[in-house]
Structure 1
């Protein structure tokens, strides 16, 4: 193997010196400059990035300052609001000192499935050793020429209606008047004064409203309150107009027949809150009308529909301003209209892109409009928190869920948690029947009974002629506490919980709306178990659950309520048998014919069955009491609850009687 000789270091140095000398003797030419690292690809990428961020302040332009171009660009796209396109370089063609970039624009609008995609071209040139963009508005959109601008507005879909039993319309568009301030009609120094005056006039918090006005955009209509057009509390238009910038705007809004009609359950519709916008993953923007509570909130995706958008070429403004941008918290008006609008364009706007809105879908529920109105009328004069629930035993359909005026806007009819008192004795009776007793079985009903050192007694006006040895039927009819407690050793806590479950109480279900089905302790013992036997202690129920108890007895099967079409859960409890239901039905009929529910005996039509209840609560002496009454008559089961009442028969009973009489 031969080796190749290498030159010595001295030889290498001499060779370099010689090469340098010869180069210097070739006519005096200078050394070639280092090739520039700049490229048209860099300039095109820089431009695309600036367009995507809606800020061209860092982009280099040929024969133009970046700040001047950025100012012009901002005015061109101001009407697009907060929506920015994704811009990429689709292709690049470079020749010597010039190049052409093809830019691909993709616009996505909040909640709108369709995207707007188009291409533009940008010319690049070398200037001062750098590649730069030759600015023209057509880089943003081919139709832009310096005399016009882009603008877009959101198309709002028709919201779905809520329909009741037999397809009757419950929630639909009804005439309203939106009262607010038009900021474009006010000077800055007028805003706070007008905002506070208007807030005081319509009864909203002046400080909060003034802050909302301050935070809104310069051309915004800032809504203070919405009145039904027929609302007698609405201030006259002339009074509103006396406040600078204040306007009453006629509009429509999704509303129930009355302001109180099942409001806690149905919920409300209004402008999206910040929390709703933030949680929507971009589908909802400020200014959108969405469900804020109740069924409107839970089924908002179905009811709201899909928004659309229109993008137009409009005449340029003298100053950068947003027209009706989709997604703008200050100027969005869409097709709902606005109290203020942009100045008239010298020429008609040209539509560049349109995605049509898709209407929401109706939601059908089982509520009966007449019975719901009746339930609310029955409770209208009741000052404490109160509720009335009516269901159809044959199907479990919820017909009315009214929470009285003392309920502070809460849906206590469906989610209230209260001791059911003696109405729970229907479940206790079922547990005793399953333990081998029958309606004629003899029980001891003393005036008092002691369990583990705790004394239990009957209610104050318990009939003395029903003390001593009585049968189970009489114990239920007269509601003898001590008789039921005397049988505590025959049924366990688990037996009680199972019997309650068979009547629709104490077993959770997803029924498509907020509902509480009660709680019956499966392990308590001692005085706790004794209290459970009469619906006290840790036993809790909602009026909805107690309506199911009455409905289950009437129907002869476990009734699980349903309100929303398509949401019909099945019972997971031990089934109620026809024989058990028959015995309970006869015993609850005795409550009407011989006991505390006698006020229902005079009703015409099908025979009523019932049970009254009074539950002690709190630490006051004497204790405060909840008043209950449940009943069923034909294919209608009802529960009435009053948070503070004398007794079930005296407080809840007359309300239930009035409802059943009018519901006939």
Structure 2
């Protein structure tokens, strides 16, 4: 009678899944040898498989190597230890068995003194891409009564051959441009250097990258993450140039000189369409992906990548840059024989189109030339809300045209006058007075005396005292509500940062009178005042936008229709101001209307304003000093000095 404990031919030993994690083995089932009375227990291959996988996963590569035969133990340990480096892996998980079409079939197949064990590899590639899972296979042999893993590089990956290594190839698509309203780039081509390394030629990668991170400190002390750079270099194909920085010439000449002495760094000269041709504070700049910047833009960008660091370039980073295509490959040291093991296709870049008009932008920039003070200007189209031009001069890279907090002074009188016309039912011919001084609610307002006059004439003469007195015609809440009709203090749903203005509810009559003349706690940005001028011209306040076909995170408010009778009176007041008042220096054509004003901020700084319109263009100018803004407006409107 045949011994029932012996079976001829292949023997399948089904196993329930187990996961190796943190050095602990969790088994959802037990391996039980089939026994009959008088039978002899066969040694199981499972303990050898288990011990090998646990040791590999927890990084005890020497212990894993001791479970193998067929190769030098040091070579095995070295090959296993390099897997994480070659993939710059954040984590590696191993489990016995494979999932075949979701059936959960796990197995070790034995045939005499030979066995095959199937297992699953799960690798988190971190910044390099999505988790990678694939089936693994190892062959075992029983020698001296013990099962051992027969070493072969294919244990790491079934397609990996002798003499090959794993590598991660990242293909970064060409960045898409930011364009003007006509689809032409608002960027200019500049000379640049791609600074990088040939990983396989670095004598001391850690030293080279530590020096690179230390010397390449950016503004504000930002620096590259040397440890993550090292991981990126180790995972890259050793024979291919790996760019780590793109530096503009001549803007980064000093940094290029600092880096030029670091051993192992290479410099490739190139041309790139990356520098803003105009409106740099809005368009933004590109720069290296420092550690803190990576927190802003997130994966899949890596240390050293060139990313948007300000303006639209930063805000629309993912759309403009797309996402890289990541390929895991097996290759020999020459790189000539390469086989793709897995790939993750990236997202293609898309251009971002702005509403900027190059003609108006050139005029706006020209208007601010030569000013001895910081200045900002915004031009919008009243019929649509499009932002046509954004200019900043001497603002240290800040987009104060959108984000400046300034007291608007009597330019805010446009809002106050509309409130008087629509709510108090006054008009441009309403009789009023312009005394030299008036006290309202404990606050005193002064200006040059004009005597009795009409509201239109008082406005043209910059009579603060007239508006201060007329504040009694409105209650505090009504004034704030009318300011809201001009979008002030509302969330515009704009796709770039902007200050929408602030008109806090006045606590008393004095604060209300101050608000009427644009003083006290009232603050506005040039963009906000340009929209006020646009609403006065068009009769409807419309939310601004500067990017086309870009989904807004916050829905823009609906347009606000102002009372038609109030707008008629307001236009006459503004026209009178342009013909006989403080805006007359800007009256270069018959349709120019506006207000010029001086305002004093809380810190005593003077702000010179011009807020007006001409046809289907409205604009606001704010200069942080005393200048003739009507002349600046005329320079913009004519394009001539």
The TM tier, using the shorter chain, reads 0.7 to 0.9
The residue number in structure 1 matching 2:438 is 449
1:43 to 48, 63, 69: 48
Instruction: Give the corresponding residue for 2:532.
Output: 549
1:584 aligned counterpart, secondary structure:
helix
Name the SS of the counterpart of 1:312 in structure 2.
strand
Which residue is 1:505 aligned to?
Answer: 488
Q: How much does 1:439 deviate?
A: 0.3
The equivalent residue for 1:632 is 613
Q: Does residue 217 of the first structure (1) align with residue 238 of the second (2)?
A: no
Q: Which deviations, in whole Å up to 9, do the C-alpha atoms of 1:189-217 show, x marking residues without a partner?
A: 99699879987xxx9789987x9779953
CA-based RMSD = 4.0
2:171 paired with 1:155: yes
Give yes or no for the alignment of 1:250 onto 2:256: no
Which of 329, 339, 345 is 1:312 aligned to? Answer: 329
What is the CA distance between 1:67 and its match in structure 2? Answer: 5.0
Is the CA contact 1:204–1:225 (under 8 Å) kept in the aligned structure 2? no
1:249-288 alignment to 2 at 5 Å?
Answer: 249-253=268-272, 255-258=274-277, 261-278=278-295, 282-288=299-305
Give the conservation status (yes or no) of the 8 Å contact 1:543–1:640.
Answer: yes
* Cα deviation, residue 544, structure 1: 0.4
Shift of 1:176: 2.0
> Corresponding residue for 1:72?
79
Which residue number in structure 2 is paired with residue 7 of structure 1?
none
Counterpart of 2:384? 395
2:67 to 36, 42, 61: 61
Aligned 8 A contact 1:124 1:134 in 2: yes
Give 1:418 shift: 1.3
Shift of 1:538: 0.6
TM superposition shift of 1:154 = 0.6
In 1, the alpha carbon distance for the partners of 2:371 and 2:195 equals 33
Task: Tell me the CA shift for residue 539 of structure 1.
Answer: 0.6
Structure 2's unaligned 5+ residue stretches are: 1-37, 99-106, 235-241
**Higher Cα Rg, which structure:** 1
How far off is 1:534 after superposition? 0.3
Is 2:286 aligned against 1:303?
no
Q: How has the CA–CA distance of structure 1 residues 506 and 563 changed in structure 2, closer, same or farther, with 3 Å as cutoff?
A: same
Q: Are 1:81 and 2:102 counterparts?
A: no
User: d(CA) in 2 for partners of 1:368 and 1:496?
Assistant: 35
- Equivalence map 1:561-572=2 (5 Å): 561-566=544-549, 570-571=556-557
Question: Is residue 293 from structure 1 mapped to residue 310 from structure 2 by the alignment?
Answer: yes
In the alignment, the residues of structure 2 paired with residue 137 and residue 409 of structure 1 have an alpha-carbon distance, to the nearest angstrom, of 55
3-state DSSP of counterpart to 1:79: helix
**Given the alignment, which residue of 578, 588, 600 partners 1:592?**
578
2:239 is aligned to none
Whole-angstrom distance in 1 between the partners of 2:39 and 2:318 = 65
Which structure 2 residues correspond to residues 83-122 of structure 1 after superposition, within 5 A? 86-88=93-95, 89-90=97-98, 91-95=107-111, 98-106=114-122, 109=125, 118-122=134-138
Which residues in structure 2 correspond to 1:140-219 (within 5 Å)?
140-171=156-187, 175-178=191-194, 217=230
Displacement of 1:158 in angstroms is 2.7
1:422 has 2:371 as partner: no
Question: Which has the larger displacement, 38-47 or 420-429?
Answer: 38-47
Asked whether 1:492 is paired with 2:481, we answer no
- Give the corresponding residue for 1:658: 635
For each residue in 1:336-371, what CA deviation from the matched residue of structure 2 results, as whole angstroms up to 9, or x when unmatched? xxxxxxxx45x5333444444442122222112332
Separation in structure 2 between the aligned mates of residue 241 and residue 114 of structure 1, nearest angstrom:
35
Q: Residues 360 and 474 (structure 1 numbering): CA distance in 2 closer, same or farther, change over 3 Å? A: same
Q: CA deviation at 1:637?
A: 0.6
2:622 corresponds to 1:641: yes
- Cα distance in 2 between the residues matched to 1:610 and 1:377: 20
Structure 2 CA distance for partners of 1:62 and 1:127, relative to 1, 3 Å = farther
Pairwise mapping of residues 369-408 of structure 1 onto structure 2 (< 5 A)? 369-405=358-394, 407-408=395-396
- State the number of aligned residues: 581
Correspondence for 2:513: 530
CA distance in 2, matches of 1:97, 1:419: 89
Q: Distance in 1 between matches of 2:243 and 2:343?
A: 27
Match of 2:595 among 611, 616, 623: 611
Preserved CA contact (<8 Å) 2:94 2:119: yes
CA distance, structure 1, for counterparts of residue 222 and residue 288 of structure 2 = 16
Q: Distance in 2 between matches of 1:194 and 1:365?
A: 40
**Distance of 2:212 and 2:340 partners within structure 1:** 37
CA contact (8 A) 2:600 2:607 kept: yes
Distance 1:654 1:562 in 2: 28
Q: Following TM superposition, by how much is the alpha carbon of 1:391 offset from its aligned partner in structure 2, in angstroms?
A: 0.4
- Deviations along 1:359-394, one digit per CA (max 9) or x if unpaired, are 212222211233234323433433433210000111
How far the C-alpha of 1:587 sits from its partner, in A, is 0.8
Aligned partners of 1:110 and 1:285 also within 8 Å: no
Per-residue CA deviation, residues 67-106 of structure 1 (Å, 9 max, x unaligned), is 5422133346643233655543223223565431123345
Counterpart contact for 1:240–1:247, Cα < 8 Å: no
Q: Is the 8 A contact 1:501 1:573 kept in 2?
A: no
Q: Does the Cα contact within 8 Å between 1:61 and 1:135 map onto a contact in 2?
A: no
**1:485-543 CA distances to partner (integer Å, 9 max, x unpaired)?**
01121112222222222223232221111111101122421321111110000111111
Q: Is the 8 A contact 1:112 1:308 kept in 2?
A: no
User: Does the C-alpha gap of structure 1 residues 205 and 512 become closer, same or farther in structure 2, counting only changes over 3 Å?
Assistant: closer
- Which moves more between the two structures, 187-196 or 586-595? 187-196
Q: CA deviation at 1:663?
A: 9.1
Secondary structure of 1:122's match?
strand
Structure 1 residue 127: deviation in Å?
Answer: 5.8
8 Å contact kept, 2:493–2:557: no
Q: 1:276 to 1:418 in 2, by over 3 A?
A: same
The 10-residue stretch of structure 1 (247-256 or 653-662) with the greater mean CA deviation from structure 2 = 247-256
| Counterpart secondary structure, 2:637 | helix
